[in-house]
Amino acid sequence: MLYSLVKPILFSLDPELAHDISLQALQRLHHVLPVSRIEKPVRVMGLDFPNPIGLAAGLDKNADYLDGLGKLGFGFIEVGSVTPRAQPGNPKPRVFRLSRYQSLINRMGFNNSGVDHLLERVGDRSRDFILGINIGKNLDTPVEQALSDYCLVYEKVYRRADYITINISSPNTPGLRDLQNEAALEELLDGISQLRTRLEDQHQFHRPLAVKLSPDLDHDAIPVIADLLRKYAVDGVIATNTTVSRDGVQGHRLSDQNGGLSGAALRDKSRQLLRDFYRELGDDIPIISVGGIDSVEEANLRFELGAKLIQLYTGLIYRGPGLVKTIAQSL
């Protein structure tokens, strides 16, 4: 009810400004907000999730708003993408609402305050939800040297994350999606696998590893990627990131803006990638479905298609934070 009152005001503002104001208000008010804890426990990737509804990476890039977001009822929250060094991202404006299509275009470009800042914000305190940390490479790091960035951040966040996601699918860092090619992906997974073995021996615990993939993958690449995920014992797949396609929003005055499209316009591609990877992986590697989930019906469909967990992002912006509780209670 409250969101329906403030939404017109927020939607009269620049999208990125509205995003920042909303999160800052949520964080400042977290002490007086009731806890919307929904217990629908599920075990995935060896972790016990309070419920299978999560927040996708990108909303809270620096883990600055965990106290407020933690009151909304999420079973898990994924922060990031975070890079070794702070970087400003792409020039503004870089977020665009396509309200007619319940969608967004963003070209943020991994704007974040760097991994050290994120770790300060995460701290060592206990939480009522599972925390994922999504990692990426700096813009000025050549793709050929990306492994060094991923390993640096992976090692730094290993103790603080409940699981770690490798983001190789954002369309807003030039060349990043090349890491989904067979040779590049194998080199990346091999390097991280060696580091993971060393860290597991050092700390005597296992941190699940997930890989976030693009909805724009060539169909022939899917079985190749699936084989590599199995070979390197990846614990989870996040399907999917934003798309560079403009299917479904052609003719909108903002559809020619560069960046990744999310929201309802991504729904069909997200469903299809879920189907394709579930066909290849079955229940061997759990799939986290994200993209265009904005209702109980859509959430239930993703679980029917094989997802073990789901994540929300753009649906929250259009439907409001109550969407978390609505979906979780329906399960």
Extended strands (E) in 65-157? 76-82, 95-98, 103-106, 130-135
* Cα–Cα dist 179/10, whole Å: 37
- Reading the block at residue 299, the tokens are 């959430």
* Cα–Cα dist 216/168, whole Å: 12
* Cα–Cα dist 32/73, whole Å: 15
Give me the catalytic one of 22, 113, 169, 170: 170
* Helix runs in 29-88, H state only: 66-69
Cis geometry, peptide bond prior to residue 12 (ω within 30 degrees of 0): no
| Dihedral of alpha carbons 252, 254, 258, 259, sign | negative
Is 170 annotated as catalytic?
Answer: yes
- Reading the block at residue 328, the tokens are 């979780």
Residues designated as active site = 170
